[in-house]
Amino acid sequence: MRVLRLWSDRYRLSSIDIFVYEPFDFALEYARAQRLELRKGLPVPIVSLEALITMKREAGRAQDLADIDALLETADYGRHG
């Protein structure tokens, strides 16, 4: 097990993953994270694309590998679109 996934019955599509171990240097990733405002006064740190891809590659599940392809396509589109 890499993560423990939790969700609310009210918000089934918004799961939260709790890592069983830290898959990266947390302090480094937290410092470099982009912050998006979920609502006024509630900034949420977002893990870097590189860290997310690394985590998914290490998980190695078919869905994670498919996610990597989609993430790379989206990132490439963002640079050229």
Contact by Cβ (8 Å): 30, 45: yes
Contact by Cβ (8 Å): 20, 2: yes
Q: pLDDT truncated to tens, each residue of the chain (81 aa)?
A: 678 889 999 988 888 888 888 888 989 999 999 999 989 999 999 989 999 999 899 888 899 999 999 999 988 766 655
Range of the domain at 75: 3-80
* Predicted pLDDT of residue 3: 80
Q: How far apart are CA 31 and CA 73, in angstroms?
A: 26
Domain tally for the chain?
Answer: 1
